[in-house]
Amino acid sequence: DIKIHADRIIKIKKDLKQILAKNTGQPLEIIERDTERDNFMTATQALEYGLVDKVIEKR
């Protein structure tokens, strides 16, 4: 059971990294590096990285 769950988690992580690479325009190698550990970004950094389409400023 543990091996089945571990294999499934590895597959999901691989799929997620490919989705992030496709949608952000970042190379898969960068996505792999940046998702090894927690990675906190400002709104502007997320925009530059390709995670968000725009930053909404407070009025």
- Which of 48, 15, 11 lies closest to 3 in space, CA to CA? 11
Query: How many CB atoms are closer than 10 A to CB 28?
Result: 13
**If pLDDT is split at 50, 70 and 90, which confidence band does 10 have?**
very high
Mean predicted lDDT score pLDDT of the chain: 97
Query: Quick one: average pLDDT of 38-50?
Result: 97
- Judged against a pLDDT cut of 90, whether residue 59 lies above it is answered with no
pTM of the model: 0.82
Instruction: Calculate mean pLDDT across residues 39-53.
Output: 97
Evaluate whether 38 touches 50 at the Cβ level (below 8 Å): no
State the pLDDT confidence band at 43, using cuts at 50, 70 and 90: very high
Taking the alpha carbons at both ends of the chain, their separation in whole angstroms is: 52
pLDDT at site 9: 97
